[in-house]
Amino acid sequence: MADYSWVMVGEHRFLPAGYGYFPEVAALFAESERQPCLDGTDGESAIRCGYLASAHVLLERLHALGISPDRVRADLDTALGALAEQPPSDRLPHPIPSRAAFLDELRALLASDGASWDDKELFDRYLDLSTIIDGLRGHMEIRNLVRVLLECSPAQAPVGLDLYELDREGISADPHQPLAGQARSEQLAEVAQNASLLVLTEGSSDADLLELGMRVTHPHLIGFVNFMNFRLAPAERNVAALVKTVNAFIVAGVANRFVAIADNDTAGHDGLAKLTARQHPPSCRVLHYPPLGLLAAYPAVDPDTGLLTMTDVNGAAGALEMYFGRDVLTRDDGTLMPVHWGGLVPQLGRRQGALSPADKKAAQKQFRRKAAAAQAGNSAGDEDWDGIRAIIDAIVHAFD
């Protein structure tokens, strides 16, 4: 004989699960709603072991998860139709009631209390409804079916996950463990695991250009790595705005895995310094564009003499344009677009470097042309994609 967990609605129990429980149901409860496992009924709790809340509370949680009345209604209609198409059997009442008749019967049952169990007609109605509900379980998402039960019960009716029968030796599920919290954590982990990796950048240009580059260097990641779409709403476009977005995601408890990535320059490192020094939730990574060999010896205009010197500009002038490739950064005369130094950032003891505005604009335009040609199959085959490839690799492997 199996030992079952039950979904209790008022004084009625439904949805038996042999030798275990439905994690999706457990995840609807909070650990603060845990009821102690007792040897006998304590006279105050509707269940002797498990979790207990009210129909109203669980309905609001289901709605917050997107399990709406319209969704449930459509699922119930489909499931009842599937049961009605089955050949008549002793397992199910015949005929299968319509949705309206089924819900009316369920409301009447859930409005009754334990004192009515001497009523044979009511008990037979419970058996019929329980059999139908068990049949619906094979055709409906379990949380949709739970919502059907909750909508038909009084708002303040106690609703519980009864684990009492599992409180025995040899049962694989331990009812004394924090099952609700564990089930909810596993749900969130599944969201994080299956959702696309979200990438936050300093602004719309970086997002657009990185996505464009990824379509060339990592086309197999389209749909698996998504860049924040700044076109959907106006937003600030700088490293300070990136910090605000990361903090907002963390405070909101966003379950999706996300990577925040900023320029590998002085301003980027200064702007993210406090953020990178903190611990982050497992779903969050904060990065800079990785060091690049090309930038380890790159022409920069000496701020004192005005002369070009070969300088390691990693960490000081590594904006996205510097990762577009040597071919993009090379001018018509064969020289590389030089870095120009700005003001000193005292906290880091180094200057901020960047291409001139004209060179930056030209580099972006040339990169778009290069990417368009590559996607059209018109590449010469000798283009430099090392920088973009390094950035996308850093993003993909951020959680390694």
Share of the chain above pLDDT 70, in %: 90
35-57 pLDDT, tens digit each? 877 655 444 556 778 899 999 99
**What is the pLDDT at residue 332?**
94
* Token pair of 344 as six digits: 């000193």
Q: In which element (H, E) is residue 6 found?
A: strand 4-9
Share of the chain above pLDDT 90, in %: 54
pLDDT at 171 over 80: no
286, 271 Cβ separation under 8 angstroms: no
For the chain, the average pLDDT equals 87
**What is the pLDDT at residue 258?**
92
Closest CA to 301 of 352, 338, 333: 338
Please name the residue that has the structure tokens 């790595």: 225
**What is the pLDDT at residue 400?**
79
Query: Lowest-confidence range among 56-65, 230-239, 331-340?
Result: 230-239
**What is the pLDDT at residue 72?**
93
Sequence-ordered alpha helix ranges (H) in 27-98: 55-64, 69-84
82-119 pLDDT, tens digit each? 999 988 776 888 889 999 999 999 999 998 875 555 66
What mean pLDDT is predicted for residues 338-353? 93
131-154 pLDDT, tens digit each? 999 999 999 999 999 999 999 999
Burial degree of 349 (CB within 10 A; 0-12, 13-18, 19+):
exposed
What mean pLDDT is predicted for residues 222-244? 77
Burial degree of 276 (CB within 10 A; 0-12, 13-18, 19+):
middle
What mean pLDDT is predicted for residues 159-172? 74
Greater pLDDT, 2 or 126: 126
**What is the pLDDT at residue 1?**
45
Confidence category of residue 179, pLDDT binned at 50, 70, 90: confident
Max CA separation in the chain (angstroms) = 101
pLDDT at 337 over 60: yes
**What is the pLDDT at residue 76?**
96
* Token pair of 260 as six digits: 């925040």
Q: Pseudo-torsion of CA 347, 348, 351, 354, nearest 10°?
A: -110
Distance CA 162, CA 6 (A): 5
Residues with Cβ within 8 Å of residue 339, at least 6 apart in sequence:
298, 299, 300, 301, 311, 313, 317, 353, 354, 355
Burial degree of 57 (CB within 10 A; 0-12, 13-18, 19+):
middle
DSSP 3-state of 50: strand
Total Cβ atoms within 10 A of residue 360: 17
**What is the pLDDT at residue 309?**
95
Distance CA 327, CA 110 (A): 73
pLDDT at 13 over 80: yes
DSSP 3-state of 41: coil
Would the pTM count as exceeding 0.85? no
Distance CA 158, CA 347 (A): 59
**What is the pLDDT at residue 42?**
47
- Estimate the crossing angle of helix 142-151 against helix 55-64, to 10 degrees: 140
Backbone torsions φ then ψ of 51, nearest 5 degrees: -130, 145
What mean pLDDT is predicted for residues 117-126? 74
373-392 pLDDT, tens digit each? 999 998 888 899 999 999 99
What mean pLDDT is predicted for residues 215-239? 78
Question: Beta partners for 53?
Answer: 159
pLDDT at 206 over 90: yes
* Token pair of 50 as six digits: 């498990």
What mean pLDDT is predicted for residues 274-283? 88
Amino acid at 128: D
Backbone torsions φ then ψ of 321, nearest 5 degrees: -60, -30
Question: Beta partners for 197?
Answer: 225
